[in-house]
């Protein structure tokens, strides 16, 4: 984070144009005080409609610390896009409002799972049997919670559908007519490997929506597909058609096809 591996600065405090450590105090017990900074000038973090920033304290947040942080963020006071509509797949009222329909979908199913990232349900794991010159223990990382449990209350439960290769999904979403394109976001189940679909908007082919790989431990994921302004500008709604394709490859123990739980339209303004 601060360009100092494990926050270890052997030559003491330093100051550089993009990062530095201005204070470093260490006690005989191995704990202490460090003041650090970093400017993300050449490697900014792009985001579309929101960002959550955090600093992990040891592997899996398992190291008790006292931290004070200041973050400066500069914007132009104009949001780049806004949510204009959504479809809660599995909710019949929401599906009917968006004219959502699919050819031969598998039965609806409910999933309780975690996203990857900060709210992944993982627990910090400490091993006090391994000696360390500083603390007498080594933080060996974070571990998934036992199957079927959620001690940190970070899981999400939602209902959705599976669609086999060859299926066709159609729906309509409201958009801002004064848009410069639309971002279509989908919540999916990563236990299905290599999800691919040909995308059509208002009857125009726009390419392949691909979610590569799979994750059977942290099954939730969001995937975005951009609809250009050439097919969305001046319109109050967009008709979307998804033609589910076979994956490029197979992976043992994973499903094939397409999964959807939530579609959200963000109009780029």
Residues 181-217 have pLDDT tens digits of: 999 999 999 999 999 999 999 999 999 999 988 899 9
Question: Do 57 and 162 lie in a common domain?
Answer: no
Report the distance separating Cα 211 and Cα 115, nearest Å: 15
Q: What is the mean predicted confidence (pLDDT) over 117-132? A: 68
pLDDT for the residue numbered 136: 47
Report the distance separating Cα 250 and Cα 87, nearest Å: 29
| Domain range enclosing 244 | 81-114+156-268
Question: Do 200 and 95 lie in a common domain?
Answer: yes
Q: How many domains does the chain divide into?
A: 2
Contact present, 76 and 157 (Cβ < 8 Å): no
**Number of CB atoms found within 10 A of residue 212's CB:** 12
Longest dimension (CA), the chain: 70
pLDDT for the residue numbered 233: 96
Residue 160 pLDDT greater than 90, yes or no: yes
User: Based on C-alpha coordinates, what's the Rg of the chain?
Assistant: 23
Residue 226 pLDDT greater than 70, yes or no: yes
pLDDT bin (cut points 50, 70, 90) of residue 23 is: confident
Contact present, 116 and 156 (Cβ < 8 Å): no
Question: Do 250 and 207 lie in a common domain?
Answer: yes
Using a pLDDT cut of 90, give the percent of the chain over it: 48
Residue 10 pLDDT greater than 80, yes or no: no
Contact present, 111 and 261 (Cβ < 8 Å): yes
First CA to last CA across the chain, in angstroms? 32
71 falls within a domain: no
196 falls within a domain: yes
> Mean pLDDT lowest for which of 74-78, 82-86, 242-246?
74-78
pLDDT for the residue numbered 115: 95
120 falls within a domain: no
Query: How is the chain split among helix, strand and coil, in percent rounded to 5?
Result: 5, 40, 55
Q: What is the mean predicted confidence (pLDDT) over 116-142? A: 64
30 falls within a domain: yes
pLDDT for the residue numbered 130: 47
Question: Do 96 and 161 lie in a common domain?
Answer: yes
Q: Which of 34-43, 48-57, 82-91, 110-119 has the highest mean pLDDT?
A: 82-91
Question: Do 10 and 109 lie in a common domain?
Answer: no
CA 119, 111, 169, 249 dihedral sign is positive
- Model pLDDT for residues 42-78, shown as the tens digit of each residue: 777 777 667 777 776 665 566 667 777 888 877 777 7
46 falls within a domain: yes
219 falls within a domain: yes
Residue 127 pLDDT greater than 90, yes or no: no
Query: Which residues are paired to 237 by β-bridges?
Result: 174
pTM exceeds 0.95: no
Question: Do 15 and 100 lie in a common domain?
Answer: no
| Burial (CB count within 10 angstroms: exposed 0-12, middle 13-18, buried 19+), residue 214 | buried
Question: Do 102 and 10 lie in a common domain?
Answer: no
- Tell me phi and psi for residue 30, to 5 degrees: 100, -10
pLDDT bin (cut points 50, 70, 90) of residue 128 is: very low
């Amino acid at each position: 984070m601060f360009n100092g591996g494990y926050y270890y600065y052997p030559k003491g405090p330093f100051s550089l144009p993009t990062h530095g450590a201005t204070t470093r105090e260490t006690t005989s017990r191995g704990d202490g005080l460090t003041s650090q900074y970093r400017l993300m000038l050449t490697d900014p973090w792009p985001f579309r409609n929101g960002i959550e920033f955090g600093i992990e304290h040891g592997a899996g947040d398992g190291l008790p610390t006292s931290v004070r942080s200041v973050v400066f963020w500069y914007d132009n006071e104009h949001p780049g896009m806004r949510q204009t509509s959504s479809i809660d797949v599995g909710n019949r009222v929401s599906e009917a409002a968006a004219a959502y329909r699919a050819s031969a979908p598998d039965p609806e199913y409910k999933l309780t799972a975690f996203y990857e990232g900060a709210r992944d349900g993982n627990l910090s794991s400490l091993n006090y049997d391994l000696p360390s010159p500083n603390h007498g223990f080594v933080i060996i990382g974070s571990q998934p919670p036992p199957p079927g449990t959620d001690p940190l209350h970070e899981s999400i439960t939602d209902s959705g559908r599976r669609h086999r290769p060859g299926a066709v999904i159609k729906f309509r979403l409201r958009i801002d007519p004064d848009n410069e394109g639309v971002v279509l976001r989908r919540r999916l189940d990563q236990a299905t490997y290599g999800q691919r679909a040909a995308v059509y908007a208002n009857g125009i082919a726009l390419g392949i929506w691909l979610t590569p790989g799979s994750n059977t431990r942290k099954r939730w994921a969001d995937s975005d597909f951009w609809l250009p302004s050439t097919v969305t500008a001046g319109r109050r709604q967009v008709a979307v058609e998804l033609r589910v394709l076979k994956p490029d490859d197979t992976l043992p123990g994973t499903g094939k096809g397409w999964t959807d739980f939530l579609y959200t339209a963000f109009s780029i303004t």
